[in-house]
Amino acid sequence: MKKVLLSLLLTTTILSLGAQNTNNKDARKLQMALYAISNLYVDSTDQSKLVEDGIIGMLEKLDPHSNYLNPEETKEMTEPLQGNFDGIGIQFNMLTDTLYVIQVIPGGPSERVGLRAGDRIIQVNDTLIAGVQMKTNDIMKRLRGKKGTEVTVKVLRDKNPELLAFKIVRDKIPVFSLDAAYMLDKATGYIKLNRFAASTLDEYKEEFAKLRKKGMKNLVLDLQGNGGGFLNIAIDLADEFLDKGKLIVYTEGVNQPREEANATGKGDFEQGRLVILVDEGSASASEIVSGAIQDWDRGVIVGRRTFGKGLVQKPIPLPDGSMIRLTVSRYFTPNGRSIQKPYEKGDAEAYQHDLIDRYNKGELMSADSIHFPDSMKYNTLTTGRTVYGGGGIMPDIFIPLDTTLSSPYHRRLIATGIVNRAAMNYLDQQRAEMTRQYKNFDSYKAGFTIPESLLQQVVEMANEEKIEYNEEQFNHAKPLLMLQLKALIARDMYEMNEYFQIINDINDSLKAALQIINDPKAYELTLKRQ
């Protein structure tokens, strides 16, 4: 009898729930399933979690980029692109379960109290964070907080066994998207962007103006590893290079009408030789910019095929602060190429392994391993050059990934953070002498050589980590190791800009860009203007 009453109650309730929308059978079906699970399942259930899991499950069946973010994830996702957050103003790495300060943001709250690169944060408000395998997100929660609130950190510095305590008042911390900007030669400037955030265009314009004053006539824009960001910022950056009226990108979906973005003609670099560097880590907004430049024959694209992320997500806020990022349309380059690479619905694992598959197939090492069907051939809009669709932007000049400089032993040194720690330890011990000897970066770059004692320290640190020494592999990777150590020390002595001025010595794409940008005839021939 109880079962019959429960069944009648269930049916009546379900009909009541569905009465609000009698035409939507699928919605009623979901409501029935949720009600049945919540009221009839053998064990207790959490209805909120059931709803959350149901949303996640549905989105996973659609495409690789539609996803659900809980309230905390929503906040964490938007902060970096908005350009600032509240915190103490440091960049750090977790190395062997210890937080090492990599950089202290100039003018930030940590710099104001005397924290510096190389410090190891051991405690945050009397909570031990070193040597306890605490998750990075948990550490960030302790360091971040509302503007005006206080946090006390205790650090180890140099070889001093005593912990130094710093009371830091949190403040707004800017998040920069421009890593480096400097002159490659008397006529060519270099700008590297790591994302497309709210402040990106302003950062770019500020550095562009400085380079112009130094005599820049040509530009290398480095988008290697740039995973994207805001669509409007990508459009604004492409607008800097294209003449008025030229189509930059358009979006379209089954339920979304075509929307176009066109250049305004107000750009600061619509003339002059332009090279854009891309690789397999360049995605989304990076592909919009490089695709538009390629389609209009405005500049030369150098590097490797880009990631292929051309799906547009619309954020749909939910009442509890969570969010659905739903794919609503696709990005297309001006000549109609879809940026999105192929995917099988519901097979997220295969999609995520795409870059590994490219590596295994040899695509990152040889352009000959990349084959495009005739249906994927397109023509550029000015000179009619052949370019390719099918996902990502295929560069005009292919540069293979160089794996010959490294070795298995060297890769283990990098993976365990030993190279990074060794550089910081060296500077901790030699900071006063280094600062006295190298008054500026130019003198450092020209005069500093990695001493054998530092290389020996790297080997000793590796031994402590039970990494077996291999002399042949060490010597093979020694030039690369020395360059990396020199770049890391420069980063900690100066800024990230100086790091790239050293590490770019092994950037083959940049070497190729500089070569073609300084050869007007080769540049024009690549774009078929002659």
> Does 49 qualify as catalytic in the annotation?
no
Residue 265 CA to residue 245 CA, distance in Å, equals 7
Task: Give the number of other Cβ atoms within 10 Å of residue 369's Cβ.
Answer: 11
Listing DSSP states for 419-448 in one string gives HHHHHHHHHHHHHHHHHHH-SSHHHHHHH-
- CB-based contacts of 213, cutoff 8 Å, min separation 6: none
Which residue among 171, 295, 354, 396 is the active-site one? 295
- List the beta bridge partners of residue 101: 92
Cβ pair 445, 497 in contact under 8 A:
no
- List the beta bridge partners of residue 454: none
Cβ pair 145, 55 in contact under 8 A:
no
**CA–CA distance from 246 to each of 196, 242, 263, 264, 334 (Å)?**
21, 7, 5, 8, 8
Listing DSSP states for 272-341 in one string gives S-EEEEE-TT--THHHHHHHHHHHTT-SEEEES------EEEEEEE-TTS-EEEEEEEEEE-TTS-B-SP
DSSP-derived secondary structure letter, 218: E
Which residue among 110, 282, 284, 290 is the active-site one? 284
Residue 136 CA to residue 92 CA, distance in Å, equals 10
Residue 107 CA to residue 109 CA, distance in Å, equals 7
Q: How large is the C-alpha radius of gyration of the chain?
A: 27
**Which residue type occupies 163?**
L
Q: Which two tokens stand for residue 154?
A: 């205790």
> Does 309 qualify as catalytic in the annotation?
yes
> Does 284 qualify as catalytic in the annotation?
yes
Cβ pair 517, 218 in contact under 8 A:
yes
**Which residue type occupies 11?**
T
Listing DSSP states for 166-194 in one string gives EEEE-EEEE---EEEEEESSSSEEEEEES
Which residue among 309, 341, 396, 486 is the active-site one? 309
Residue 193 CA to residue 298 CA, distance in Å, equals 19
Expressed in angstroms, the distance from the first to the final Cα of the chain is 90
Question: What is the b/e burial string over 119-129, where b = at least 16 CB atoms within 10 angstroms of the residue's CB?
Answer: bbbbbbeeeeb
CB under 8 Å, gap of 24 or more: what pairs does 32-38 form? 35/10, 36/10
List the catalytic residues.
284, 295, 309
